Amino acid sequence: MSLGMKVLQLQTRNFYTIETLYEAIKDRHFTAGQPSLVNHCSYNIIVFPPQDKRNQVWITPAMYGWCNTWYVQRQEMAGAESMVKNVITNELTFGISGIAGRLNEASQYCEWLVDVTANELYYMGL
């Protein structure tokens, strides 16, 4: 388990945008749950249901536009509202809240889900 965010790099056989990759996987079964395409600040990402506000599996492109390199990662819950809440909570608790959220069982489970999700995507042969 790491205190940082776990990130795995994945290569696809074909080139996709974030939207076309989502279309290719949206009806597939994942151990992490049903994927969703969400807007995180000014760009779209693919996310799976969060374990808690500090642990969620994301899929992001290595570059925007058409690409075949993707990152499967553990991050805080996506969305501008969630990001603002987490920053405020961290400031009020002098960072203890953020560290505690990375040391719990949900964090360990989410790191495992990152590995599983990357493998599931790989074996889809996209």
Question: Average pLDDT of 25-54?
Answer: 93
Question: Average pLDDT of 75-79?
Answer: 80
Do residues 12 and 19 lie in contact, with contact meaning Cβ atoms separated by under 8 Å?
no
Q: What is the 8-class DSSP label of residue 7? A: E
Q: At 26, list the tokens.
A: 């949206």
**Per-residue pLDDT, 69:** 97
**Per-residue pLDDT, 53:** 82
- Give Cβ neighbours of residue 8 (< 8 Å, ≥ 6 apart): 71, 72, 73, 114, 115, 118
β-sheet with 43-47: strand ranges across: 7-16, 67-75, 56-61, 43-47, 36-40
Query: What are the pLDDT digits (tens) for 47-61?
Result: 999 998 889 999 999
**Per-residue pLDDT, 6:** 86
Do residues 106 and 52 lie in contact, with contact meaning Cβ atoms separated by under 8 Å?
yes
Do residues 107 and 67 lie in contact, with contact meaning Cβ atoms separated by under 8 Å?
no
Position 106, amino acid: A
